Structure 1
Amino acid sequence: MIKQYRTFFSILLLTLLSTVIVMIMYTYTVNISLKTVRDDIQSNNLNRLRFLVINLDHNVKQLNMLATALQADTKVGLLPSIDIMDSYDQVRLTMDLSDKMHLQSFSEGWDNQISIYASRINQWIGSVPGQHSPPTGVTSGVWTLDPALRLFTTYRSYNGYTIRVTFPENNLKEILDRAMIGNNDPFFFHPDNPVINNRLTNSGNSDKILSQLSPLLAGRQEGSDVVSVEGTNYLVNFMKSETLGWYAVDYLPLDEALQPIVRTKYFFYIACIMLFLAGMVIVLFLYRKVQVPIITLLKGVRLLKHGNFSHRIKKVSRNEFDLLYDNFNDMAEQIEDLIEKVFKEKIVSREAMIKQLQAQINPHFLYNCLFFINNMTRLGNDVAVTAMTQNLAEYFRYTTRLDEPMTLLEKELGVVDNYLTIQCLRMERLRYEIDIPESMKRLPVPKLLIQPLVENSVIHGIENKQRAGLVRITGREEENRYRLTIEDDGKGMTDKDIQTLLERIKQPLEDTMGCALWNIHQRMLIHFEELSGMDIGHSALGGLSVTLYWTRPKRQED
């Protein structure tokens, strides 16, 4: 079917291939552009996020330096002995420290509060909500978030006092608000605390982003990932604050950022499809004017191939193909006349050759049988003589029907079984095995195809070797051919002798050589034609192996 429309399919495939190649090249270019743009967006967002985190860490470090500078103040150094001062000195010292901390808080750009807890007098110095003592077990210098007060707090404990620095989370929200550009949505995240969003954020999106991002943050200080939320891809950048231990996260809808390029790509695909459809119209025109006449000619040639020599092309194409049609009809008429003259002569010659080759086998077998009967009569083995006589009569009944040169493999095996039964009577050490698949027993084969090979195994192989006694016949179906193997454990042949024998059976028959193997080989070539023949080699049993093979027939196409 494909061969008939090869030209049409070739043009169609060429048009499709050209369109596909252009689309692939354009897609590759677009993908490179998308990757470049995405990398630029990722790099810019990550740099902006890095600047945000650096600014955050700078402010936090400034607050840490305030606590360090306060600890170095001489008045703060008096706190370990404040309990031995009189009331006036205690009040004066606390007021001086309060004023100093108040001035230091205002000196920083961030809103913050600094206070000192004097453990000698159990009193906070500075503006502190509540009068509770510092919590125990808090690591010195580590910033923690108080979810209730929304304050970040750090404690620095010294001998006799504890410095506390706090700032509200609004400081972080102001940083996030300043970092918002376009569609990005930055926020701060810590696994043990609530998310800090900017004031215009969509907290629902940030929660969904975090559900995808959280498993990816383990052990990473910064990076970028693409996560999908409800079918939308987001480019997420993150960086961990060195001072707070929080992650600054910024995400951007990747599809919206790349939408112009993607839209251009779709427009180009639509244009390619339209060009392909236009090419299809041209191909269909060529199909009607060129391919249809070619198919008509191919159909006529195929009919001639299958023997329909009376076929004539009556189609009119109204172009140069009409001349080809006329020439085809003239050629078909000449072939038909020639076939009628030659066909009968070829059939008669072929049948005569088959009958001649088959007749050459019968005397060869008869000589061996008569010689056996003579020997058995001398030995007084009447049972073997009777069996030989009966099977010889069955054999000639089978072989003298020259009008039927072909038989079923099952019947051929029956003759082989009779022959081996007779030989078993003559040689007690002889035994045989026949293993043929049921599906092969109904195959048509030339008469006396197997029996001469079995006879050679017995006479030339087993009789010439004292301990030999096994003949095995096996059949095998392969994907494209059938195989019949006759092997024995007899004397066998050398590699050189096998090669010489193979060369001789391929030559014309001579009076100096036996005719059995040559005869079988020639009949295989006549009946099964190509890809059939005979292989001779060493058997796994120790003797000789002869394999006949021929191709399995294929159904002819309509």
Structure 2
Amino acid sequence: MLRNTNTKWRLSINKRLIIAFIVATFPIYLLAGILYNWTSDLLRKDIMTSTETQSQKYLSELNSTLSRFNSLQYDMLNDEYVIQFANAYDTLESYHKIQLIHFLRSKLVSIRNSSDFIVDVRLYLTNLDIEISANDGYGQLKVTDIPPEKLKDPYHLITYHDRLLSVAYPLESEYRTTPEIIVEIEMRTSELHRSFEAALEKDYSGAIVLGLGRNAKNMIVVNDDKLEQSITRQYGEMKQSTQEASPIQTNKDYIFVRSSLAENDLYIDHYLYTPTMFEPISKSIIWFWLFFGLTILMVALYLYYINRIINKPMVKLVRAFKRIEEGNLELNIHHNKEDEFGYLYERFNDMLINLNISIDEIYNQRIHRQNAELKQLQSQINPHFLYNCLFSIIRLIKMEKDKEAVHFTDQLAKYFQFITRNSRDTVTLENEVAHARNYAMLQLARFSDRVTVNFGELPNSIKALSVPRLIIQPIVENAFVHGLENVIEGGILSVSFLDKPEQIVVLVEDNGEDSEDAIKKLSALLSDTQDEQEISGILNVHRRLQYKYEPESGIKVSPSELGGVKIELTISRKEASDDVPDVNCG
């Protein structure tokens, strides 16, 4: 007697899984969260402090270097030889002018050589239109060499025509006409960029920006492609002041750190990439190993528990299904807990009982009935058809048409060979159509002067399809016996084939008499589900097709455009399969 399966399970697997998962993971992730937040905050503070200290150190060194350059410029402006050369140029002898030019150039060269950051040092004497360069020597001063843009921010870095310059002149001349003496230092941007990048760049640096003043372009180092466009657009422009320079909007993966020297308008902006910055956590924190070990232990215990309550019962059920697939229906599986698997096992055992009953009462009976009906159809040889065939052979012999008689006899032999062969219940559609065509040719011995037979071409795609034996010939026979028997002349029998995506259809049509009455009788015969009725050839074919294929298969009767009856024999493609016959069935 079956237990009541409507009662609730005492311990639901779903509830146990949820509870076990929460109990197993909550302390692990709680500990992991505490450790991560603590170490992240600590590391974040250390890195930000270190970055700011390093940036301040670099800014101080850069500021000292620029201050030294300004001191050298100031000393050059107040040099007595420069003043003597500028004020007494017209009174000096030529050789004395040359000596002063060489002496002044040597001082400019000395300034240039004092630092790798300096490309060239130039002295402009505007009242004399003279230029002296450490690199190019003495030359004629051009008006374009001293534009107003160069003079707007003395002793500070400016960018002019992509060159980084520091221009100095006596400050009392700032708001008058062009100063008489100007000292210009051109910085080597590549060397400055190299030192800046080497001093500050870290593995976790997403981008570094060095601000050189209100009128100088920033130096930018971008390591993350996601930041390049935004940083280049904002920092690529000259800043009016360090207060106006604000960090770009970035996502939570970046930390912004700014260091500045307001006295010289210098600043450094650091964008630190946090995923890379926090990598040392996994290598330097001892608590990580505790977290890792605890995680492994809890996961192992959880998996062991899952294996016991889910995996083992599931494997047992799967193996039982496999044994059923192998044909073993004498199974009985048990589960000692009242949970979902207990219910499944009980239903599985009930299913096996019902399956065995179904096989005995339905499947085997239908197979036996199908085979019996096929054997019955094979054994039903119409005596009138046999007599007519024999009379036709006698008539051909009397008329001394020996070849025709031999051919006719051969066709008749193939007909009986096909319907009496019991080795296979299925044949290829090609052989079935050939048998039906052979039967129609035998009938033409009687109807040749009254009936025309048209057999359509069988598509190559369905020739090898495996179908039950004797499904087309009984339909053709029905057309001759009930449709064309009394036709005096002009009778037509048409057999055609349709290859559809989901179905294969064989159409048998005639133009026989009394088609309306014949359609009613055939429709009533096919719609009657009583097993006790007399099994005719049409009904036999209809039932066997529905047994073998799905209910959409079978026979349908309707009026034909030829004027008689149209019978549609339908085979579903879902259950149909190709087959290669091992014998020639005629």
* TM-score, with length taken from structure 1: 0.47
Q: TM-score, normalised by structure 2?
A: 0.45
